[in-house]
Copies of this chain bind each other. A is one copy, B any other.
Amino acid sequence: MSKSYRLASLSLAIVFAFSWNFGASASAGDPLPSWNDVESKQAIISFVEKVTKPGPNYVPPAERIATFDNDGTILSESPSYVQLAFVIKRVKELAPQHPQWKDKQPFKGVLEGDMKAVADSGEHGVVELVMATHSGMTADEFTSLVENWLANAKHPKTGRPYTEMVYQPMLELLAYLRANDFRTYIVSAGGLEFMRPWTEKIYGIPPEQVIGSSIKTIYEIRDGRPVLERLSEINFLNDKAGKPVAINQYIGKRPIFAAGNSDGDREMLEWTTAGEGPRFGLIVHHTDAQREAAYDRESSIGRLDKALDQAETSGWTVVDMKNDWKVIYPKREKASR
């Protein structure tokens, strides 16, 4: 693993050097320079000051756990999740070996670009697509696949690398929390091993602080060397009520800060903010059709409905992207080719 990670580090470092710069600068002076001086920003800063200063609300660094959803919370999920683009590419690559796919949903829909048919196949269809494209290889081979794909993949609307479609204000928030001795985790429905090759370079979050959905792997000896083989079987779906379960399983501590953007994050915020002492729940509300996308209660991707209601009753902070953020994406300081 370490060799492929080093290769990944090199290529990703070239592509994403700009986002690092931003992450680092966030801790000097105004910790959240891309945020307008609005209620959400004030609430974040007030919370961080409260838990880090001596007093009744002080929280020791070991308990300063912050969990972030990924798609739609740190990274744009519009028009579709980054992992779906990877799935589509893989289905097209593998199609010649599976002639039956051209008559079988959801594969047919992917091959014909009929995303409605794919969506109509439901969770069962998505799981089928993931099984067909993410298994039958070793963990190291999968990591290489993701790295190679990501190095060249472009966002369909902007033409920028997917991993530049990250929210600059959220990078600043991650850096600000870490500067105050928080440990920041990703807790996403996305694939654990799909995210780990790039979260450190893009977000500063190392593999061991990434929690995601996973498929079963087994340990075996192949050609005299041990490998971890990825099976066509779901291990864990890290969504909705699965998120608090996984947080407990991986971290063994209840977060004091959680950020999400959809109903898939509702239970994570509920679990986080139901704990004793100071707690912070944050919802990123996609309100900016011009600079990114506007969607909530009716959206098929990133639906924000029950969680938006609960934000009100539970005192979660709702970030209005259009109003609260000066910029959405990092400025491109360097070309990324």
Which residue numbers of A lie inside 8 Å of B, CB to CB? 1-3, 5, 62-63, 139, 192-193, 196, 206-208, 210, 214, 217-220, 225-226, 228, 235, 241-242, 244-245, 248-254, 267, 270-271, 274-277
Q: Which residues of B contact A193 (CB under 8 A)?
A: 252
- What 8 pairs between A and B have smallest CB-CB spacing? A207-B252, A219-B241, A219-B244, A1-B254, A208-B251, A196-B252, A226-B274, A226-B271
Q: Which of B2, B254, B267 contacts A2 (CB 8 A)?
A: B254
Other A-B pairs beyond A1-B253, A225-B274, 11, CB < 8 Å = A2-B254, A2-B276, A139-B248, A192-B249, A192-B252, A208-B252, A214-B249, A219-B241, A219-B244, A219-B271, A228-B248
A248 to B62, CA, bound (A): 23
Q: Can you list 9 contacts pairing A with B, beta carbon distance less than 8 Å?
A: A62-B206, A192-B249, A192-B252, A207-B253, A208-B250, A208-B251, A220-B241, A226-B271, A228-B245
What residue in chain B is nearest A241 (Cβ atoms)? B219
Task: Name the residue on B nearest A256 (C-beta).
Answer: B2
Q: Give the complex CA separation of A103 and B31 in angstroms.
A: 66
Give the residue among A196, A219, A241, A251 with the most B Cβ atoms within 10 A: A219
Is the beta-carbon distance between A253 and B2 smaller than 8 angstroms?
yes
How many copies of this protein are present in the complex?
2
**Residues of chain B lying within 8 A (CB to CB) of residue A249:** 192, 214, 217, 235
Q: Is the CB of B226 within 8 A of A245?
A: no
Q: Are A226's CB and B244's CB within 8 A?
A: yes
Q: A248-B228, A253-B207, A270-B226 are in contact. Are A63 and B2 (CB under 8 A)?
A: yes
Cα A34 to Cα B242 in complex, Å, equals 45
A79–B274 Cα distance when bound, in Å, is: 42
B267 pairs with A219, CB closer than 8 A: yes
Residue in B closest to A217 when the chains form the complex, CB atoms: B245
For A207, the chain B residues whose CB sits under 8 A away are: 251-253
Q: Of all chain B residues, which has the CB nearest A143?
A: B252
Minimum CB–CB distance for A312 against chain B, Å:
17
**Which residues of chain B are within 8 angstroms of A62 by Cβ–Cβ distance?**
206
- Chain B residues with CB under 8 Å of A210's CB are 252
- Which chain B residues lie closer than 8 Å to A250 at the CB level? 208, 250
A168 to chain B, nearest CB (A): 25
Expressed in whole angstroms, the minimum distance between the Cβ of A60 and any Cβ of chain B is 9
CA distance A243 to B214 in the complex (A): 16
- With both chains docked as a complex, state the minimum distance between the C-beta of A141 and any C-beta of chain B, in angstroms: 13
Q: How far is the CA of A214 from the CA of B219 in the complex (A)?
A: 19
For residue A216, give the distance in angstroms from its CB to the closest CB of chain B: 8
Give A63's nearest chain B residue, CB to CB. B2
CB distance from A263 to the nearest CB of B (A): 14
Closest B residue, CB atoms, query A235: B249
- Distance of A214 from chain B, by nearest CB (Å): 6
Instruction: Return chain B residues, CB-CB under 8 Å to A63.
Output: 2, 5
Question: A108–B294 Cα gap in the complex (Å)?
Answer: 63
Instruction: Kindly list chain B residues whose C-beta atoms are within 8 Å of the C-beta of A252.
Output: 1, 192-193, 196, 207-208, 210
Would B253 and A241 count as touching, CB distance under 8 A?
no
Residues of B within 8 A of A235 (CB): 249
